[in-house]
């Protein structure tokens, strides 16, 4: 198999697993909270959860990749494929539009800010934390 074909296969397998994980998170939240709120608020919570969790995981993988602690194979499988399918910006955009359409302005604004700030913060935190945890031991003189 060519290197391009191998990369496509790795991203495909990772994407399949990532999308299944995303569906699992959504189903668990629906099962647990469906009686507690409207359908769209549960959908927003699920999207927020996967975006922040996925951003945290991607930050750690990026730190490991940058410092050559994981292979290209794992990066393609878990980072590009798995977390690429696990997280979703398009679902957040649709959830926000539905909230606006229903005139839930403050919920829509809070959701956008929480998703973006939470995801960026999670990625940064895990990146720095992973670098700290995987730093090379210092040799004393």
84 is in an annotated binding site: yes
List b or e across 86-110, with b for residues whose CB sees 16 or more CB atoms inside 10 angstroms. Answer: bbbeebbeebbebbeeeebeebbee
Integer angstrom CA distances of residue 76 from 27, 62, 84: 26, 11, 10
87 is in an annotated binding site: yes
Using an 8 Å Cβ cutoff, are 83 and 58 in contact?
A: yes
Using an 8 Å Cβ cutoff, are 19 and 85 in contact?
A: yes
Output the known binding site: 84, 87
In the annotated binding site for Na(+), the residues are: 84, 87
């Amino acid at each position: 198999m060519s290197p391009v074909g191998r990369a496509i296969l790795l991203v495909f397998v990772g994407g399949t697993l990532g999308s299944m994980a995303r569906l699992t998170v959504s189903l668990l939240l629906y099962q647990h909270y469906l009686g507690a709120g409207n359908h769209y608020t549960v959908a927003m919570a699920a999207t927020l959860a996967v975006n922040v969790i996925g951003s945290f995981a991607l930050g750690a993988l990026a730190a490991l990749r940058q410092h050559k602690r994981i292979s290209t194979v794992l990066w393609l499988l878990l980072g590009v494929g798995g977390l690429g399918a696990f997280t979703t910006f398009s679902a957040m955009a649709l959830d926000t539009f539905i909230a606006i359409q229903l005139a839930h302005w403050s919920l829509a604004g809070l959701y956008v800010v929480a998703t973006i700030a939470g995801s960026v913060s999670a990625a940064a935190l895990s990146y720095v934390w992973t670098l700290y945890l995987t730093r090379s031991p210092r040799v004393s003189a």
